[in-house]
Amino acid sequence: MIEQKTKIGTIDITPTWESLIPVLVPLAAEGNVTAMNELRKLARIVDTHIANLKALRDEAPKAPVCPDCGVRGAHAFGCPLGVTTDG
Protein backbone atom coordinates (compact mmCIF):
# COMPACT_ATOMS: atom_id res chain seq x y z
CA MET A 1 0.00 0.00 0.00
CA ILE A 2 1.31 3.36 -0.97
CA GLU A 3 1.06 5.89 1.76
CA GLN A 4 0.48 9.37 0.50
CA LYS A 5 1.49 12.06 2.91
CA THR A 6 0.07 15.47 2.33
CA LYS A 7 1.42 18.37 4.27
CA ILE A 8 -1.43 20.57 5.36
CA GLY A 9 -0.74 24.14 6.30
CA THR A 10 -1.67 27.68 5.61
CA ILE A 11 -0.35 29.96 2.93
CA ASP A 12 0.10 33.57 3.94
CA ILE A 13 -1.16 35.71 1.07
CA THR A 14 -1.21 38.97 3.01
CA PRO A 15 0.08 41.65 0.64
CA THR A 16 3.00 43.75 1.80
CA TRP A 17 2.46 47.44 2.52
CA GLU A 18 5.03 48.21 -0.16
CA SER A 19 3.03 46.32 -2.78
CA LEU A 20 -0.16 48.16 -1.77
CA ILE A 21 1.25 51.68 -2.08
CA PRO A 22 0.80 51.94 -5.90
CA VAL A 23 -2.86 50.98 -5.42
CA LEU A 24 -3.64 52.91 -2.23
CA VAL A 25 -2.07 56.27 -3.07
CA PRO A 26 -4.05 56.96 -6.30
CA LEU A 27 -7.27 55.79 -4.65
CA ALA A 28 -6.68 58.04 -1.63
CA ALA A 29 -5.91 60.95 -3.97
CA GLU A 30 -9.31 60.40 -5.60
CA GLY A 31 -10.93 60.67 -2.18
CA ASN A 32 -11.38 56.97 -1.41
CA VAL A 33 -11.92 56.90 2.36
CA THR A 34 -10.94 53.24 2.78
CA ALA A 35 -7.63 53.78 0.99
CA MET A 36 -6.91 56.89 3.07
CA ASN A 37 -7.69 54.97 6.27
CA GLU A 38 -5.29 52.21 5.23
CA LEU A 39 -2.54 54.78 4.62
CA ARG A 40 -3.25 56.31 8.03
CA LYS A 41 -2.99 52.83 9.56
CA LEU A 42 0.40 52.39 7.88
CA ALA A 43 1.51 55.80 9.16
CA ARG A 44 0.48 54.87 12.72
CA ILE A 45 2.45 51.61 12.50
CA VAL A 46 5.54 53.46 11.29
CA ASP A 47 5.16 56.16 13.97
CA THR A 48 4.80 53.51 16.68
CA HIS A 49 7.82 51.63 15.35
CA ILE A 50 9.95 54.78 15.33
CA ALA A 51 8.82 55.68 18.86
CA ASN A 52 9.73 52.16 20.04
CA LEU A 53 13.15 52.39 18.42
CA LYS A 54 13.77 55.78 20.05
CA ALA A 55 12.70 54.42 23.44
CA LEU A 56 15.04 51.45 23.05
CA ARG A 57 17.88 53.75 21.99
CA ASP A 58 17.28 56.06 24.97
CA GLU A 59 17.00 53.23 27.51
CA ALA A 60 19.85 51.06 26.26
CA PRO A 61 22.75 53.05 27.73
CA LYS A 62 21.14 52.92 31.20
CA ALA A 63 20.61 49.16 31.21
CA PRO A 64 23.28 46.95 32.79
CA VAL A 65 25.56 44.79 30.65
CA CYS A 66 25.23 41.03 31.11
CA PRO A 67 28.54 39.81 32.59
CA ASP A 68 28.32 36.54 30.64
CA CYS A 69 27.53 37.59 27.09
CA GLY A 70 28.05 41.35 27.11
CA VAL A 71 24.53 42.15 25.86
CA ARG A 72 23.09 45.34 27.30
CA GLY A 73 19.73 44.90 29.05
CA ALA A 74 18.05 42.03 30.87
CA HIS A 75 17.44 38.67 29.15
CA ALA A 76 13.77 37.70 29.27
CA PHE A 77 14.60 33.98 29.58
CA GLY A 78 18.06 34.02 31.09
CA CYS A 79 21.40 34.48 29.42
CA PRO A 80 21.78 32.37 26.27
CA LEU A 81 25.32 31.58 27.37
CA GLY A 82 23.74 30.00 30.46
CA VAL A 83 26.23 30.85 33.18
CA THR A 84 23.76 32.93 35.15
CA THR A 85 20.00 33.06 34.86
CA ASP A 86 19.29 36.45 36.34
CA GLY A 87 20.17 38.18 33.07
* Dihedral sign (CA 16, 39, 52, 86): negative
Q: Which is nearer to Zn ion, 35 or 66 (CB)?
A: 66
Q: How many beta carbons lie within 10 A of that of residue 66, not counting itself?
A: 20
Over the window 67 to 86, marking each residue x when it contacts Zn ion by CB under 5 A and - when it does not, the resulting string is -xx---------x-------
Instruction: Answer for the pair 87, 75: CB distance below 8 angstroms, yes or no.
Output: yes
Stretch of residues binding Zn ion (CB under 5 A), selected from 5-13, 15-23, 27-35, 66-74: 66-74
CB 21 within 8 A of CB 38: no
Confirm or reject binding of residue 39 to Zn ion (CB under 5 A).
no
**Which residue, 30 or 86, is less far from Zn ion as judged by CB?**
86
Residues interacting with Zn ion, by CB under 5 A?
Answer: 66, 68-69, 79
